[in-house]
């Protein structure tokens, strides 16, 4: 438990020193501080309404969820903040909160929602928290000046709805851009790839959040503050569904990781081999611009790439398949692929494992193996020859050996990517 906590703390330290993330956090902190000072100096408009929305934002942040891909979202808090931003009237009474007050209420609500997490030792993901605040700030700066023009939504509700929906879409794109920049920096991958991954991953939850925020604002004109409870309830159901999906995905990955250790426990490969190959393969996949779904399959395949060794009567010394005859390597890969296919849901992973021993140009008419297979072939060979050693001369000698075989066995682009990854500190991949 102590080791896991120390590892988490080191990860948070690395996040803090990322330049883009640091700039984002500093900008959000300045916006929050400036908005709070301005609001206190000019006074709160409709403090009862601000308090109601602030409490719901805090409760939503308390119930935030972590999605696959190390994404943290808070649908209820974001929908509540959007509802407060788009608020035109409550009942028959107009509201006049400015953009600064919206940012201030959101900042206080998010901070209060974080306190219980901090109290039990969970370090906040400051980058995700800052992103949520800045997106609401952008929406508030875009919409609140229009509020005085729109007035009550009843006579021209379609105009208010169009403005809200347009701003929500723009804010979703802005949020995707910010998230993609952070993801590209964290994973050292290409921005266009990270942007596509973020757009695809955030679209469902963003649609639910944006629609709920708009409904809360429009319904408040008729129902008053009761609209907060009525239109937050469907979002709670949606959040539960997303949480279960994330838990199932995490359980699936943990199961694969547990299966990958069977070869280590049985003495077929060195301890930590599958984990090291998976880690290096993932970093190389990011370097080469693989999509998130491809990276997940690569991680699964890298963790289970040696599972075919369980069929061997006599284990290969140190489990180094790179030293085995080519025919033996292919037999191990095919047996491992057959085992993985038995799951019924990992056919792509099984194909990656089956073709991991083929030359980079492929064999016969099948063409070159998938990129994931070529990455695993290089990552496995590197770890078989280097292991846990950090000796730079040994690493350079192994890289040179791999480069000498790029005319047939190893993909030269993959070998070059491995060299670039290894040039970074280990904490960066």
* pLDDT (0 to 100) of residue 361: 85
* pLDDT (0 to 100) of residue 318: 72
Residue 157 has pLDDT above 90, yes or no: no
* pLDDT (0 to 100) of residue 4: 45
Rounded-to-integer distance, Cα 144 and Cα 150, Å: 10
Per-residue pLDDT band for 235 (boundaries 50, 70, 90) equals confident
Per-residue pLDDT band for 116 (boundaries 50, 70, 90) equals very high
Rounded-to-integer distance, Cα 308 and Cα 334, Å: 7
Terminal-residue alpha carbon distance, the chain: 23
Average pLDDT, whole number, for the chain? 86
* pLDDT (0 to 100) of residue 16: 45
Rounded-to-integer distance, Cα 203 and Cα 76, Å: 16
* pLDDT (0 to 100) of residue 79: 92
* CA-to-CA separations, 378 to 19, 290, 397, 425, in angstroms, rounded: 31, 16, 14, 20
The CATH fold assigned to 261-428 is: Hypothetical protein af1432 (1.10.3210)
**160-165-170 Cα angle (round to 5):** 130
Per-residue pLDDT band for 148 (boundaries 50, 70, 90) equals confident
pTM for the model: 0.80
| Domain range list for the chain | 2-236, 261-428
| 82 or 259, greater pLDDT | 82
Model pLDDT for residues 217-226, shown as the tens digit of each residue: 888 888 888 8
Rounded-to-integer distance, Cα 376 and Cα 407, Å: 17
Q: Where is mean pLDDT largest: 9-18, 111-120, 240-249, 359-368?
A: 111-120
Rounded-to-integer distance, Cα 65 and Cα 322, Å: 42
The token pair that represents 113 in the structure block: 């929602």
Is 259 in contact with 304 (CB distance < 8 Å)? yes
Rounded-to-integer distance, Cα 299 and Cα 286, Å: 11
Nearest C-alpha neighbor of 358 from the set 344, 374, 337: 374
**Which stretches of 308-370 are DSSP H helices?**
326-341, 347-354
The H or E element that residue 94 is part of is: strand 93-94
Per-residue pLDDT band for 91 (boundaries 50, 70, 90) equals confident
Is 57 in contact with 80 (CB distance < 8 Å)? yes
Neighbour count for residue 166 (Cβ, 10 Å): 12
CA 365 to chain CA centroid, nearest Å = 38
* pLDDT (0 to 100) of residue 8: 45
* pLDDT (0 to 100) of residue 3: 46
């Amino acid at each position: 438990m102590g080791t896991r906590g120390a590892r988490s703390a080191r990860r948070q330290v690395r996040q803090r020193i990322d330049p883009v993330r640091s700039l984002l956090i500093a900008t959000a902190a300045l916006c929050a501080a400036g908005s709070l000072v301005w609001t206190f100096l000019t006074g709160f408009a409709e403090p009862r309404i601000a308090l109601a929305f602030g409490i719901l934002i805090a409760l939503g942040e308390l119930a935030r969820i972590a999605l696959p891909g190390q994404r943290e979202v808070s649908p209820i808090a974001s929908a509540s903040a959007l509802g407060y931003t788009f608020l035109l009237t409550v009942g028959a009474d107009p509201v006049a909160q400015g953009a600064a007050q919206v940012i201030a209420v959101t900042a206080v609500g998010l901070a209060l929602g974080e306190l219980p997490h901090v109290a039990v030792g969970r370090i906040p993901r400051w980058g995700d928290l800052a992103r949520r605040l800045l997106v609401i700030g952008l929406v508030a700066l875009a919409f609140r000046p229009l509020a005085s023009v729109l007035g009550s939504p009843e006579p021209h509700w379609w105009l208010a709805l169009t403005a809200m929906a347009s701003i929500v879409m723009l804010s979703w794109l802005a949020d995707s851009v910010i998230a993609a920049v952070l993801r590209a920096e964290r994973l050292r991958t290409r921005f266009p790839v990270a942007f596509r991954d973020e757009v695809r991953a955030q679209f469902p939850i963003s649609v639910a959040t944006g629609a709920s925020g708009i409904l809360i604002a429009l319904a408040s004109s008729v129902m008053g503050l009761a609209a907060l409870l009525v239109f937050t309830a469907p979002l709670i159901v949606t959040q539960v569904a997303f949480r279960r999906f994330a838990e199932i995905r995490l359980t699936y990955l943990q199961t694969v990781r547990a299966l990958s250790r069977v070869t280590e426990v049985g003495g077929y490969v060195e301890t930590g081999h599958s984990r090291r190959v998976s880690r290096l393969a993932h970093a190389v996949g990011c370097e080469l611009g693989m999509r998130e779904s491809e990276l997940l399959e690569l991680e699964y395949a890298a963790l289970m790439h040696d599972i075919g060794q369980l069929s061997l009567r006599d284990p290969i010394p140190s489990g180094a398949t790179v030293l085995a005859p080519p025919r033996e390597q292919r037999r191990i890969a095919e047996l491992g692929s057959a085992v993985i296919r038995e799951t019924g849901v990992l056919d792509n992973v099984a194909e990656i494992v089956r073709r991991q021993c083929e030359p980079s140009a492929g064999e016969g008419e099948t063409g070159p193996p998938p990129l994931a297979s070529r990455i695993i072939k290089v990552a496995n060979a590197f770890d078989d020859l280097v292991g846990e050693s950090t000796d730079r001369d040994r690493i350079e000698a192994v890289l040179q050996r791999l480069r000498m075989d790029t005319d047939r066995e190893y993909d030269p682009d993959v070998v070059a990517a491995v060299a670039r990854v290894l040039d970074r500190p280990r904490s960066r991949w």
